Amino acid sequence: MLFNTNLNELIFNNQYNDLSSRLIVLSGYLGPNPVARLANLPLNSTVIYGMYGDRGIQQRLHNALINIQLSTPHVNIYYSTVPIHSKCYMWENQNNQIEYALIGSANFSNNGLTTPYREILTETPSNTFQPLEEYIDIVMENSILCTDIEQVRSGSNIVETPNIQFSRQFCKMSLLGRGNRLYPASGLNWGQGPGNVTPNDAYVGY
């Protein structure tokens, strides 16, 4: 069965929350509110932030997740050191066997779970439980607990360096790439678009 509305309810009011021992959430990106709501569920939860290995994490989000981790004993939050963009929701029994699973495009965030028709989740057939479990095991082997991060890294962090003189009137830069060619894709991106970039996260695509 495929779902494209009420994904929030599909996760938090799922019957397997009462029938299972653990919920595993693998999401490319996370929002603090859904993670905090896991404290209200009657089972253990493991959350994996997939794109940490590529984008890092903003300090504000990291602080929020640390607070949830420290205040909620049955919720564990991990950061994948390998870039993972998948979205998987799995309910396991006491023997660590999958009872029910959903996969799709919905991140574990407010936008991902509450905007109608924006994302989808579909039930995973039982004959794919084993490869899905093996996939999650690989991701977990390359993940670290959020409290073990010694220094937050993020492409959107701005570090102010003193004693540097610059002009506020203009900035000169070349848009040519390797071989003095124009980039064929993306182009300029100043982090103000509707995608997964954040304000002040700028790049020249290629």
Mean model confidence pLDDT for the chain = 83
Percentage with pLDDT > 70 across the chain: 74
**Number of CB atoms found within 10 A of residue 136's CB:** 22
DSSP calls for 42-83: SSEEEEEETTHHHHB--HHHHHHHHHHHHH-TTEEEEEESS-
Question: Residue 199: pLDDT band by 50, 70, 90 thresholds?
Answer: low
Question: Residue 189: pLDDT band by 50, 70, 90 thresholds?
Answer: low
Question: Residue 149: pLDDT band by 50, 70, 90 thresholds?
Answer: confident
Question: Residue 193: pLDDT band by 50, 70, 90 thresholds?
Answer: low
The top-scoring range by mean pLDDT among 64-68, 165-169, 177-181 is 64-68
Pairing of strands 188-189, 75-80: unpaired
pLDDT over 70 (residue 94): yes
Top-confidence residue, 43 or 172: 43
pLDDT of 164: 33
pLDDT of 55: 87
- Of the candidate CATH numbers 3.30.870.10, 3.90.1150.10, 1.25.10.10, 1.10.10.10, the domain formed by 2-148 belongs to 3.30.870.10
pLDDT over 70 (residue 128): yes
Domain ranges of the chain: 2-148, 171-206
Is residue 150 helix, strand or coil?
A: coil
Q: What is the average per-residue pLDDT within 113-124?
A: 95
For residue range 40-79, what is the model confidence (pLDDT) as tens digits?
A: 999 999 999 999 999 899 999 999 999 999 999 999 999 9
For residues 29-68, b (16+ Cβ closer than 10 Å) or e, as one string? bbbbebbbbbeebebbbbbbbbbbeebbbbeebbebbeeb
Q: Can you tell me the distance from the alpha carbon of 36 to that of 17, in angstroms, rounded to the nearest whole number?
A: 16
pLDDT of 126: 94
